[in-house]
Structure 1
């Protein structure tokens, strides 16, 4: 549901910002899912001002261009090159100044920059109608007839409005808040301000020359039905203020009468319908059940077969509208309509819900009726709508308000005990605060004693009929976030905090790896002594020897999982299985003096292609990045993705790669296996190997998961093309970026790398994306540009990087 801030201000005085109002509403139970900026003209013509052409001469180097000097309210005249044929000295024009962004009709947005056009400096742009998004004309620049001062914003001259619109996730129980007035009712008590209902005291019929009678045959389905006639109306487009209000909440304006009914619906929460009075045969409206099997054509042009329990609004001859759901095609207001019958009713929620479901119709009216509307609103809304129609469409009110009110809906009476208020809320509130909140919510206090209150709940609060419901109202206005935790909470109230279970952690990691296409292997802990001799960084003297070994191939306990993994790859390759993704949880062993140690590791190996061949897509070779990606996911699954990394050359059998560090402790390595070592295990194809110190990771693993609110504001991406020396690493680029911008920069990524003769010797080019985001507000172009300029400056000064533009 969309709620306009400007529209809210019709019902209550608001000085707070949209963000403050959004937070208040969310904390009181009306969750604001987002706040959007609405502008009648995209961009709001920011940076566009009124100017006066003081000089105008032909461009010396172009026949179709003019060189002008324009007064835009500054100390000096602005030189502007203009290509419009109608530009002339003395004109008042609209000027887009340097830095302004324009959103033209039928084209992409563009920013005004300082330019040199055929040798002449141009500091701005004199605009045509289509360039500003105001229309489609491009015959020439807009020439204004105004006495406003030069430099006056164009938005002020054109009366362009902007608004902030709340997207509220309305829960089914809060039917009372399905309108601007309903939301304002909550703000009334939250802000402790008065609520302003539109003035209808001056309502008065002009005469009673056209009275249409009303007969309600089913008062259970329609307890209240009111209507009146307005004659001599002029159906036309609505004024801008009304159109803008409807557009802000996502509606398309239709005509002045229909727009007013929508304005009342979204403003006061009272659905209404306007009939062409000349099509009300017999000057009589009958509210009755449909004839089972009757065919009716609705406003959307569909033929619908009616059920016997459908409530219909009919004239003396035939149905005109499915009551509370959708109007009929033949009785609605058109451009030819001169006289209207305006209805405003209260329908049973059960009947409307059943009809809407039977015919699979969902309208703004049925949405409200099937949840429950205010039975005391129809006549008030009818009077306001009639006054607005008379003002905007002309004509006369030609009947009294006919109000068939057969079954008045009474207030709900509820008894509320103070002790239950304190017990359910978990905090003792003062009686004064309780009564103040209830009275602010229009819940009247009928009786009171030391122990309890008897309250009268207005019928529009269909969700407040029990003591617990009233207490919930008190709590949400007091504030859920204002309920402190008790100092003596029993342990039974708290969730259990389980110990770390290594088996479960390993199982979850295994499931993740298998889901990513990796196969688990289990290899022998006994291996060849020569493997340790060949592996740099591992001392052969630290081998744990088997006293009674069966063969030289099983003479020692392994110090690394690498060779048992390589042997597995060799075994599979020899059987024509070339594309392999393997992992193993296993222990490695060492002897240092008289002491023996063992520790658990996770080894991951990738070799061959990334996937098997398929007609759907080609499969590229697996590489270092294939392995690095899955290692990153393992660390993320463990909640340890905030690790440091450092590159290396030639370490522990790897030609190159990265070491992973947490708190300056090495917890893993990722890299390409040395070809000679691979050959030792009889593997001839490339192998990429990762080794994670599993025991060390489990010690660091906390099992804690952090949560934060998803921001309501969008992130912004900006890209830079960086040319640098080959010895500059991405880590240097990344670290410098986060040192330069600690608040707004959230992510940085390389999406393209280029090396070639065009760049020069020992040069490379990175295309880098930067994600900027503010949790508390929408980023403006000014802030974004300032941030990017700081990053560019840091790269140029500290890393000697050239920014390609």
Structure 2
């Protein structure tokens, strides 16, 4: 929901900055997701001022140019060359000074600079209306009639101000705030300043009329209140600039003055309105009724819809639907350019009825958004009168009949009991009764009765107005009090306990470990826990003793005589045990410690996370053949773990690990954090494992020290990404990681992703060569990429691949 700050200040006067208002609203539960600064015209006419032409002579070297001097109010007249035929001495004009950027009605923006035109110096520009974006005329420079002093900003003269627009993430329970007046009521309580409804004192309607529209409510439960007003002499046409500007500020496109007024009042007061062409209301009779099952109805968008018996419709005297109540108008009964008589509808519809109709017909409108959450039945007549006065102003309308208001049973206030001790218990802090009374009064919640219960505690019987649709219980009242009192004013005490959503500087390692375990389990890995005591023979070569082993002084078995310096042997024992029992397809992980004896006699104890992958990735089925586990699957799992811990995509280098026969070492912040590859044949033979095993070992201690516990959210890109592919022929010794690093160094702004989607080796490439098919994703967050920009990036990438990797680009 968009709320214009300038519009808001017509309802509640305040000089506080928009940022401060946004913080107050967010603190009270109306989350301001963003504040957009709007200008009436691009650039806001910065650097454009009023001036007076002091002298005007013909340019010595150009017949159609004039050489002028212009006073711009700083005591230093400017010499300006002007080509307008109407320029003359004594004229009050608009002057763009050196450095100003102009946004013309057509064409690209341009900057004003000191220059020479046909040999004469020019220190600015005298402007026509199209050159500053105020209109389309280029007949000559603007001639102003004003007593404002020279140097006055042109934006002040033309009344061009900037506006701040709040983007509020309105939750479904806050229907009371779904308008500018609703937000103003919220600020009334937060700022302790009065807010006021628009002035309706000029509204006058005749007591009687020779002809009026009769209203009959046939389903009072679905439509408790229905009001209307007949106007004649309506001149349908464009809205005035102020009205169009208000609508554009919140993202609406002006249509015509009648529709614009209904949209304006909806967003100002939160009460939806609908304008019927009164000449299309057969029999001058409106019936609010349920539809006939199966009857056809064409809505304003030209779509023919089949109605249900549950749909509430606004029908004419014959029962022919003219609108889906609270949702959408009909094509034939709406206002057109030929309309001169308008019947304005303002009603209160039961939320469930509107919601069901909207869902079934897949229609979501600004009106249904509010009706299905609950509107204020007391706003029906206020909004009707406000719209009528505006139509008198902008469309020349005349009110020709009294208001029709069918309201059989008034919707009253809700009575809610509030126990003051209960406030302290739920809030966790004492709030003075007078402060509570003040907050409730500012929220239009009145104390209708004060009681003292048997325990001697004070109780209030509160009268809650119907626009507070979500306030029906004592807990709701206390939430209202706390919203305005301020969550930040509630002190945290030592005995309080809570579950925090926010991150803290010192994360709990156990929670991180549990989250990582859940991540791996979600990928199909199973956790294992193995013995920390193992066999020293695994680590000692024949005839040599490993002095780094931590030996047990009192061991019961020669097979269990040292603390493990590596988790691999115990994990391979688990693999062997399962493979020997025909469970060959395994994905395992373990959190465990390794132990080493230092030369100084102290001990080194380290935490590791290890992963094992062996056998097939999935069982063979009729839909797909079984596929062997691969290094890339293991690497993908490791990279997901690193990403979940807050580390960006790591770099890599060939592995140097005594237990692996090839693979990669992954580096984060230039620190080796993971080693992964195929377990060497020596170790497979030692542990009597009969099939290949992929193994990864992560330095868990380092990862915990560098763990980044904050999530970084980025706005979704507004401009499309572009993909380009290259086929790069390089020596077999050149890895894809090297190519990726070259690409990242070459283009840091636009290059978002580098991916290899094919690798080819063959005799036609030449001995010792291979070809990578590489894709590049390019994207600019500020604009759509042009072919020129894309080609520039790709040419630089090709050049660097050739220079740094000796690559040949295949065409």
The Cα shift of 1:42 comes to: 1.6
* Match of residue 43 from structure 1: 43
* Match of residue 481 from structure 1: 488
* Match of residue 79 from structure 1: 79
CA distance in 2, matches of 1:307, 1:431: 52
* Match of residue 271 from structure 1: 272
* Match of residue 280 from structure 1: 281
What SS class does the counterpart of residue 144 from structure 1 fall into? coil
8 Å Cα contact 2:113/2:124 also seen in 1:
yes
* Match of residue 187 from structure 1: 187
Unaligned runs of 5+ in 2: 453-457, 526-534, 541-545, 551-564, 567-589, 612-634, 652-664, 675-695, 719-740, 751-811
CA deviations on 1:548-572 (whole Å, 9 max, x unpaired) are xxxxxxxxxxx99xxxxxxxxxxxx
CA distance in 2, matches of 1:441, 1:30: 15
TM-score (norm 2): 0.67
8 Å Cα contact 1:667/1:693 also seen in 2:
no
Q: In the superposition, relative to structure 1, how do residues 66 and 526 fare at CA in structure 2: closer, same or farther (>3 Å)?
A: farther
Q: Does 1:309 align with 2:316?
A: no
Structure 2 matches for 1:348-387, cutoff 5 A? 348-387=350-389
* Match of residue 27 from structure 2: 27
8 Å Cα contact 2:86/2:141 also seen in 1:
no
CA distance in 1, matches of 2:87, 2:604: 91
The Cα shift of 1:40 comes to: 2.0
* Match of residue 212 from structure 1: 213
Q: In the superposition, relative to structure 1, how do residues 445 and 659 fare at CA in structure 2: closer, same or farther (>3 Å)?
A: closer
CA deviations on 1:346-379 (whole Å, 9 max, x unpaired) are 1111111111111111111111111100011111
The Cα shift of 1:163 comes to: 1.0
CA distance in 2, matches of 1:291, 1:134: 53
* Match of residue 2 from structure 2: 2
8 Å Cα contact 1:668/1:691 also seen in 2:
no
Structure 2 matches for 1:111-122, cutoff 5 A? 111-116=111-116, 120-122=120-122
Which of the residues 441, 450, 461 maps onto 1:454?
A: 461
Structure 2 matches for 1:335-484, cutoff 5 A? 335-450=337-452, 451-484=458-491
8 Å Cα contact 2:93/2:144 also seen in 1:
no
CA deviations on 1:52-103 (whole Å, 9 max, x unpaired) are 343344264x776655433222221223344x45363334433222222222
CA deviations on 1:640-668 (whole Å, 9 max, x unpaired) are 89x9x9xxxxxxxxxxx99998xxxx955
CA distance in 1, matches of 2:748, 2:710: 32
CA distance in 1, matches of 2:464, 2:608: 66
Structure 2 matches for 1:592-671, cutoff 5 A? 592=599
* Match of residue 324 from structure 1: 326
CA distance in 1, matches of 2:471, 2:304: 39
CA distance in 2, matches of 1:692, 1:286: 74
CA distance in 2, matches of 1:505, 1:231: 68
> What is the number of residues matched between the two proteins?
640
The Cα shift of 1:417 comes to: 0.9
8 Å Cα contact 2:593/2:605 also seen in 1:
no
CA deviations on 1:284-314 (whole Å, 9 max, x unpaired) are 1111111111111111111111111111112
The Cα shift of 1:162 comes to: 2.0
CA distance in 2, matches of 1:122, 1:541: 87
What SS class does the counterpart of residue 449 from structure 1 fall into? strand
Q: In the superposition, relative to structure 1, how do residues 596 and 120 fare at CA in structure 2: closer, same or farther (>3 Å)?
A: same
What SS class does the counterpart of residue 104 from structure 2 fall into? coil
CA distance in 2, matches of 1:494, 1:377: 39
The Cα shift of 1:512 comes to: 13
Q: Does 1:705 align with 2:706?
A: no
CA deviations on 1:571-607 (whole Å, 9 max, x unpaired) are xxxxxxxxxxxxx999898985888979789999xxx
Q: In the superposition, relative to structure 1, how do residues 542 and 479 fare at CA in structure 2: closer, same or farther (>3 Å)?
A: closer
| Worse overlay, 308-317 or 366-375 | 308-317
* Match of residue 110 from structure 2: 110
CA distance in 1, matches of 2:511, 2:390: 70
Q: Does 1:222 align with 2:223?
A: yes
Q: Does 1:245 align with 2:246?
A: yes
* Match of residue 89 from structure 1: 88
8 Å Cα contact 2:673/2:703 also seen in 1:
no
Unaligned runs of 5+ in 1: 516-523, 530-539, 545-558, 561-583, 605-626, 646-656, 671-689, 716-748, 755-765, 770-805
8 Å Cα contact 1:33/1:169 also seen in 2:
yes
* Match of residue 581 from structure 1: none
Q: In the superposition, relative to structure 1, how do residues 116 and 365 fare at CA in structure 2: closer, same or farther (>3 Å)?
A: same
CA distance in 2, matches of 1:93, 1:525: 95
Structure 2 matches for 1:524-563, cutoff 5 A? none
8 Å Cα contact 1:750/1:768 also seen in 2:
no
The Cα shift of 1:112 comes to: 3.0
Q: In the superposition, relative to structure 1, how do residues 527 and 116 fare at CA in structure 2: closer, same or farther (>3 Å)?
A: farther
CA distance in 2, matches of 1:337, 1:380: 24
* Match of residue 652 from structure 1: none
Q: In the superposition, relative to structure 1, how do residues 637 and 118 fare at CA in structure 2: closer, same or farther (>3 Å)?
A: farther
| Worse overlay, 144-153 or 184-193 | 144-153
8 Å Cα contact 1:525/1:587 also seen in 2:
no
* Match of residue 16 from structure 1: 16
Q: In the superposition, relative to structure 1, how do residues 344 and 635 fare at CA in structure 2: closer, same or farther (>3 Å)?
A: closer
CA RMSD of aligned residues (A): 5.3
The Cα shift of 1:106 comes to: 4.3
CA deviations on 1:610-633 (whole Å, 9 max, x unpaired) are xxxxxxxxxxxxxxxxx9x99999
